[in-house]
A and B are shown apart, each in its own frame.
Chain A
């Protein structure tokens, strides 16, 4: 490439928000820029292209018969260099593939908000070079970046300054638009690139973790089951983090790392469960173990700073520095946010923690995927809204869900021989009388919500998780979506399992997803079902006949009273 001009900067000059992008001035030599612009203005043959959100003139530059004065820039060697530079700038391996075109926008024309999100074989990165004569702010035509799909959510504005390049990564959040042209003509050269390892959303998500039973057993033997952690056990918390990562669609190694994220002790809980790294590697794999080691070793403050400032070095608890790759840093962010998402609903009255975590989340929001963003946006939105409104936050999940049910009018909904609220309270009382853990009692109290108030959409589920907690919400969800025949089949499949530690899982296909359900969850569902049945006073269906719909159930799975 001619050393007198450069259109792509180094990686250090790539901004991360609202999505990875750069802007660079004076990219082509004045002579070259003027030659191309002159051709655009005179002999080039433009074709009008109109769609629902834009209208512009386009020029295909992929042909070989371009004017001589443009050959210096529009040739295959230059394209090869641009591919390499774009790959380096965005930290991606690029395919040897590029397309180039030019756009001409006239007064009145504009391009609405869009993302150009890659799907299938679509390009993943864009490079734009702006060309025009004597452009002023009053001419309009600014390129605008948005933090979300909202015209109000302007993140930054790039003026159409002549001979400026703009590059950005295309994703589901690369919202951008071009302001209407008021006067003048706005030319742009558009390069498109394809990242070599662009991974479309794949079906590997949501598969059961291999050897899950062994993993849980191992954690239990390291004391996770007996260690209290935020109103439950450490094991509950670890399983919750793994489930969240699964729900967000992250790959297995990240879920493994989430499940073991504190095994070597952390800054907050320094006591290690084990220091036998080889054993952990054998259980969860080298990649996941390395992340766990990073997560457990680092001082959180340095992690936050590394992410925000992009200095990829973690300060460790033993005083050492540890370099990490950007990918590892992003993986650690995802694990940390899953950890927060699992924990924070139970700390809903801790304003300082919520504020800190929310600040942190906003800094790294661009790193996580769409499902995670939806859930975390909802989570922080609800928690902050409660704090801002100075509402008395219930200290207990039960008070919260009761207030929620009452406000939603559960006492005005007819159920059985009384109202729904009375029925739900009876279900809860019955479960408590059977000695159920608090999560099951809470699930019993809320079991009708996805029938009555709203569908189990991701947003609704996020809200209920905040109120109920991870385990109870999952039970409510399962109760609402698992058909009786599926429950029966799951019972049949798992009924040879009969002890707390002999956990097994069964794969169940629900309407929109496959879920791995454990023996323990099946047992909890049976208890909730039985409590619902018992709550209907003067029931007209014989109890033994009712029990038949479960199929053969191990007696030890039933509450003592009904088992007898």
Chain B
């Protein structure tokens, strides 16, 4: 496979920072899922390589490297850009994407956006199965044109309607595995967002009306070094007509009465999240238990109106969250889901 460089090199002027720690901290905040590693310094400049955190730190999932090689013939660095796309349904209208990293869901949404050219008022239902809400802010700022964003680092622009630019921003680390949803929500503010969390997890919010306006106002793009990004999260506000729900109850899906476009998005860590670096490593459930959870989700989707309205289906294997030893189970689940979606189209 072609190697895509996901590790940017960066030269910084020393005079702009109090010290190197400040520079590292700023770069770590801007580059998502990356670790700044000093390559070399002179009296006046630092040169950093923004290393992929997955490749830089030893994976928590000890079988990850082996399973990456066995299943996809890639190493840790190459795995950063791994994604598979196809069109589903009789008329091939459904966009389908399977990736290792969840941020590539935005790639499929971008494809849909480019084909449908929706107006700003269009309402989408985004059903997001995930152990995390993934609502972090990417390192981009919106510009005047709908669906366009500028990098905090340079003058480059990403347009939701331009798949290449979306992939480019993901490869560079401006959009990460925890921050790929906001560009969509910002572009289509009437998107209804349902976050389905694993059973047993406590929903921190149940239902929000007209909420989650993003803190992504225009900024002078030259001041990236002075910006603080680490605490940027969606803010509550009055803009838009969003209806957002967080639930751990699969039966909630049956209550949905949305008949427009549905984006179904599933992170496999919804079924098992034992390697999450924010938590102690948990006990991996047996494959039988995982399989049962997967079957339950497909059954719940069948019982809802979601499948027949799905226009984009995205899945993420989420290395170092979902155990790589269960990937074969996950791939079977993906096939079953594809079949279930195709049956309705």
Contact = CB atoms under 8 A, between A and B. Distances in A.
Contacts of A480: 42-45
Given A448-B42, A450-B42, A539-B222, 5 more contacts: A412-B9, A414-B154, A417-B153, A480-B45, A481-B42
B13 A479 contact: no
A385 interface: no
Contacts of A481: 42-43
B222 A452 contact: no
A204 interface: no
B43 A448 contact: no
B2 interface: no
Contact of A452 (B5, B40, B223): B40
Most buried by B among A455, A479, A536, A540: A540
User: Which 6 pairs of residues, A with B, have the shortest CB-CB distance?
Assistant: A538-B222, A480-B42, A451-B42, A451-B45, A415-B11, A413-B9
A546 B9 CA distance: 26
Contact of A451 (B46, B221, B225, B226): B46
Contacts of A549: 15
A536 B13 CA distance: 10
Interface string B43-80: 11111000000000000000000000000000000000
Interface string A41-60: 00000000000000000000
A455 B39 CA distance: 10
B46 A417 contact: no
Contacts of B14: 484
A486 B14 CA distance: 15
A417 B155 contact: yes
A483 interface: yes
Contacts of A440: none
Tell me the interface secondary structure of chain B in the complex. Answer: mixed
Most buried by A among B10, B14, B42, B155: B42
Nearest to B41: A451
Interface string B1-32: 00001001111111110000000000000000
Nearest to A456: B42
Interface string A413-456: 11111111000000000000000000000000000101110110
Nearest to A455: B40
Contact of B42 (A409, A413, A479, A486): A479
B144 interface: no
Contacts of B44: 451, 479-480, 484, 529, 532
A117 B15 CA distance: 46
Contact of A540 (B11, B40, B155, B223): B223
Interface in B184-234: 220-223, 225-226
A418 B154 contact: yes
Contacts of A68: none
B229 to A, nearest CB: 15
Contacts of A409: 9
17 contacts: A409-B9, A412-B5, A412-B9, A413-B11, A413-B47, A414-B9, A414-B154, A419-B154, A448-B47, A451-B45, A451-B46, A452-B11, A480-B42, A484-B15, A484-B44, A532-B13, A540-B226
Contacts of A100: none
A20 to B, nearest CB: 41
Interface of A: 409, 412-420, 448, 450-452, 454-455, 479-484, 486, 529, 532-533, 536-541, 546, 549
Contacts of A536: 13
B11 A417 contact: no
B151 to A, nearest CB: 9
A420 B8 CA distance: 12
A244 B154 CA distance: 41
B222 A414 contact: no
A538 B9 contact: no
B338 to A, nearest CB: 37
Contacts, number: 85
A416 B154 CA distance: 7
A419 B9 CA distance: 10
Nearest to B44: A479
A448 B11 contact: yes
A538 B40 contact: no
A414 B8 contact: yes
A415 B10 contact: yes
B221 A483 contact: no
A547 B185 CA distance: 44
Contacts of B12: 415
Contacts of B40: 450-452, 454-455
Nearest to A485: B43
Contacts of A450: 40, 42
A538 B43 contact: no
Nearest to A418: B154
A452 B39 CA distance: 8
A537 B15 CA distance: 15
A479 to B, nearest CB: 7
Contacts of B226: 540
A420 B221 contact: no
A250 to B, nearest CB: 28
A278 B195 CA distance: 93
Contacts of B222: 417, 537-540
Nearest to B172: A414
A420 B13 CA distance: 12
A538 B220 contact: yes
A397 to B, nearest CB: 21
B221 A417 contact: yes
Contacts of A539: 222
A412 B4 CA distance: 13
B52 to A, nearest CB: 16
Interface in B139-162: 153-155
Contacts of B45: 448, 451-452, 480
Nearest to A549: B15
A541 B40 CA distance: 24
A414 B11 contact: yes
A549 B44 CA distance: 12
Given A415-B11, A481-B42, A484-B15, A452 B47 contact: yes
A420 B47 CA distance: 11
Nearest to A415: B11
Contacts of B46: 451
Contact of A414 (B10, B13, B43, B221): B10
A559 B11 CA distance: 26
A482 B16 CA distance: 17
A450 B222 CA distance: 26
A539 B223 CA distance: 7
Contacts of A541: 15-16
Nearest to A478: B43
Interface in B225-271: 225-226
Interface string B161-172: 000000000000
A417 B42 contact: no
B141 to A, nearest CB: 13
A452 B220 CA distance: 28
Contacts of A419: 154
Contact of B11 (A420, A486, A533): A420
A112 B13 CA distance: 49
Nearest to A482: B43
A533 to B, nearest CB: 8
Nearest to B152: A417
A409 to B, nearest CB: 8
Contact of B10 (A413, A417, A479, A484): A413
A194 B222 CA distance: 67
A415 B153 CA distance: 8
A540 B221 contact: no
A486 B42 CA distance: 14
A511 to B, nearest CB: 10
Contacts of A546: 15
Contact of B43 (A413, A415, A454, A483): A483
A424 to B, nearest CB: 10
B155 A418 contact: yes
A484 B43 contact: yes
Contacts of A415: 10-12
